[in-house]
Chain A
């Protein structure tokens, strides 16, 4: 792996403990070898962007981290727990601390916005009063600026609004880590910018760490504390935006010059 980090200045995030550690991850589908020994570390409070071309296995990586896809080999540690060896209950406990923003939003289309937001709390209903739940729903909707949509159906919202509702849903459980799968893909530049601002606001407000998957260079530039370049199933290079964009490795260059 090419590590682009100037020796004089230690990265500030590096002193924080790691919340996600992926080491030597392998996953293939038949003869399609998608991940071939991928490594990644995410520290507390940090935003790491995994940059890679379409079809390079970014979604597969993020689904391995949340336990939706089982890796063929390798180790994934999230908040100190080895994901592949957990019981269902323990896995659910870890998942409650992780927000996952799906590439397709995955809003429940038979439910209203309110019901969508309440759904992640179902497991904890016993402790939560209706009034408290209502306050919580309104608070996260306020965070994403969509309070008026509370009783609407997801299908009647625009793509950008759906993305924000999906983000609001991940915020319901105050996650320590948020995984974003291509948060700006398919949105116009202005709406994309709004989502980027929201991601930064969420980090500042909740102090959550974030792993963002993207091939939108503006999103990468504005959000990344550190970039990991996914190429041919491995972490080809890592470093800040400035460091990678100044690199003269042709494989790295092709992402920054397009």
Chain B
């Protein structure tokens, strides 16, 4: 499939092609609109490359199965929407604690609860950060187009494998169900990162060793290392601990292995920001609206720029601060009641005006609405 051809693909299918390119060989899932095609396309494509697909009895089982498969050595993914993601969160927490690479795609619909199964939303943005209970650092990325979905899914796999952690891909109904021509990358076109394998002898092996970059090598079950994996807080050997001196070592590791390398994770797409006075901050499908509105505003002579968050979590605090330094006004556009604007407020000084453009009536934000907002704040 990796041959440089162009194909007409739906966003959900584009996601699967990205995953396959990245080396996905195991998918477990449960049907839910608007993500179902991710499971369907996986069920068709995986056996063709010798991979495995299983439809589990629910989303709890799906995330459990992919974690098991990942520990057994496979590159894994599941796809779902809000209600399914909610069911998964306990075991996503298990993946944080056990440091297991998994990719979880959430094709967002409106919520809470069953909400709006066939309608667009970005209202799970904070859930991607704070879904499971406890302290941990999350990585979440948000593609904005069908083509972007393919390459960003590759990036999600790379981040999961590089950092031994779950990565959430936040799609939304508009991207998931749009169709576009997508280039299937050629072999070698994108770098593929795989988890670090153990090189020490099984006798010396320490399953959650504190290495200099805080990433412990991860052998697969069956490779002779016979280690213990547990969701209980554990010591560097993987054995449950209650010791006050050992607990922070583990929790700090979950944070620092990511935050010490946040520059490798942060990704923004910046347009017209050099001399911008007004910055539009957005992510996912809203970024397309923002870009179109900004282009029109520029033609009319207004200094409007766009900042698209490709990585949402960790929130790119440093970059947002620097990019908005010379702006007097910021507009945050999102399809929810204000989940990212609060993050922006945390990092932007009081002398700048922060405006919001939110929509949560199941429709998309149009460029016209964005232009009206620009007119209002100018």
Tell me, yes or no, whether A binds B. Answer: no
Report which A residues bind B (CB closer than 8 A). none
